[in-house]
Amino acid sequence: MTIAIGQHIPSATLVKVTDDGPDSIDSTDFFAGRTVALFAVPGAFTPTCSARHLPSFVDNLDLLKEKGVDEVACTSVNDAFVMQAWAKQAEAAGITMLADGNGEFAAAVGLAMDGSKFGMGTRSQRYSMLVEDGVVTQLNVEQPGEFRVSSGDYLLGAL
């Protein structure tokens, strides 16, 4: 069942990419006590994710923070090293990269998808959400193959 507005983020292990290397963190701890704009992509280095989705949050990072967002984070069913390399290549300083290597978080929030048709296995659907003190206050899930409601521009406009 897909997570809904008003629900708490479930517990799942994510790997936060830091300058010192990978650091495992429980999702409930990550979202506690602050406002986080989270966006999820099907895969690091994939076309729409690299050309449009991640850049839309890099471009709006300061504006999101001006609207009260404490942290902007990206999650994907990739390992921490891929997420770190993608952030570096995309010049995404300021975006916290959360690796969901086993798809545990995507499954826990009910937003996993089957990308087997494209040789990708289980991945995350494309979405954005605003989480305030662990509670989802906005959720914008894309229809398959679309990129409209999960962008940084869209989330910013909804604040």
Sign of the alpha-carbon torsion through 42, 45, 47, 51 = positive
CB atoms within 10 A of CB 81: 14
Active-site pick, 49, 69, 83, 95: 49
Contacts of 66 (CB under 8 A, 6+ apart): none
**Of 155, 153, 88, 99, the residue nearest 123 (C-alpha):** 99
d(CA 126, CA 135) in angstroms, rounded, equals 19
d(CA 29, CA 56) in angstroms, rounded, equals 26
74 is an active site residue: no
- Active-site residue set: 49
